[in-house]
Amino acid sequence: MNPLIYDFDFAELAARIKSWGEPKFRGQQVWDGLYKNLWTKPEEFTNLSKPLRAKMGELLSFEVLKPILIQESKDGDTQKTLFELRDGQRIETVIMHYENVPSSDDEEKFKVRNTVCISTQVGCGMGCKFCATGQMGFKRQLSSGEIVAQVIYAARELQDREEVLTNVVVMGMGEPFHNYETTLEALARLNDKNGFNFGARRFTISTVGLVPMIWKFAEAGLQYNLAISLHASEDELRSSMLPINDKYPINKLLEACRYYVQKTSRKITFEWALIEGVNDTPEQAFILARKLKGLMCHVNAIPLNTTRNFHGRPTGSARAKIFKDALQDSGITCTIREHRGIDIQAGCGQLASRE
């Protein structure tokens, strides 16, 4: 199989093209074509000679992701694409459109936000009980190019609609910190100032809480946002939902989180899937607030998306508000996120194909 063009970083790509007897500046031309013009086929590189275009097509692979199913939510704001990879495996990518994003959102205030939710693995080995990807098990790691290509695809789709991509969330299929180096390579490629130039603070990486990797990530001093899937404030309950908690219990996890905030001065987000009668009581909110005390953070709560093999039910809006108020009264900010693309099974953690 030919190497994937998106798997190369700039130096590797430039060296490859130079080895074909091309002048040095061709490397930057191809890089610009890929990451500034979003060209996805050799034919589109009209600034290159025909023989060079032909050579690129012969020796490199551009067809990373083959869209095999595209579904749009009824309101048209969410699009889920099921892709086939070169080995026949399948992943999903979701593009979400938000209007009038509240100005309480930090950093940059976009009136309109277009977020792509990308996958880092085929399946996932973490086995979280309520997660459709977890229910599939682990199939394989994605390469950096397969991760990058999802973002390029979204940027291109949006460009066709005269919109721009504003955010990337690493919250699709898979556990990014179980594919740590590759995921960070992919984000670095997209962050490259001489290429796609997507600001670090517009990326959010979500992890189930692989503690050693959080320490490592803190040390790396990167500007990406970090989100942690917490979902429970006591070990017994968290372990029953997220088996990884047996290995990395809440106190160890929060210790790593404190270190991250101290080291980077960046706020951390905790994710909480609200499951009726399981983790949505004011009492649990108070325990959570006590544990998060003094930590610069925010809680993102989202009513559970139901999945085939998990019998929990989503918390209703009245109950969710009580949970949120209990947290806020204890000094922890919290937002209840709306459901997204429910009618097309594109909610977080529902990214498992029905095919």
Helix residue ranges, H only, the chain? 10-18, 26-35, 50-59, 132-136, 144-160, 180-191, 211-220, 235-241, 250-264, 282-292, 317-329
Catalytic annotation present for 44: no
Q: Are 338 and 300 in contact (CB under 8 A)?
A: no
CB of 202 to ligand SAH, least distance (A): 17
| 175 part of the interface to ligand SF4, by CB under 6 A | yes
Q: Cα–Cα distance between 125 and 242 in angstroms, integer?
A: 11
Q: How far apart are CA 309 and CA 302, in angstroms?
A: 19
By a kind-dependent CB cut-off of 5 to 8 A, residue 158 interacts, out of ligand SAH, ligand SF4, none, with none
| Residue 208 Cβ vs ligand SAH, minimum distance, rounded to whole Å | 4
Binding mask 167-206 for ligand SAH (x = CB under 6 A): ----x---x------------------------------x
**Nearest CB to ligand SF4, comparing residues 135 and 167:** 135
Residues 6+ apart with CB under 8 A from 51: none
- Give me the 323-352 binding string for ligand SAH, x by CB under 6 A, dash otherwise: ------------------------xxxx--
> Residue 153: what residue type?
Y
Q: Residue 66 has what DSSP assignment?
A: E
Least distance to ligand SAH from the beta carbon of 63, Å?
26
Which helix H or strand E contains 269, and what residues bound it? Answer: strand 268-274
User: Are 336 and 320 contacting, i.e. CB atoms less than 8 angstroms apart?
Assistant: yes
Name the closest residue to ligand SF4 (Cβ): 134
Active-site residue (options: 124, 128, 131, 348): 348
Which CB atom, from 22 or from 280, has the smaller least distance to ligand SAH?
Answer: 280
3-state class (DSSP) for residue 12: helix
Of the residues 92, 146, 157, 175, only one is catalytic, namely: 92
Minimum CB distance to ligand SAH smaller for 43 or for 246:
246
Site for ligand SF4, rule CB under 6 A: 124, 126-128, 131, 133-134, 174-175, 208, 229, 349
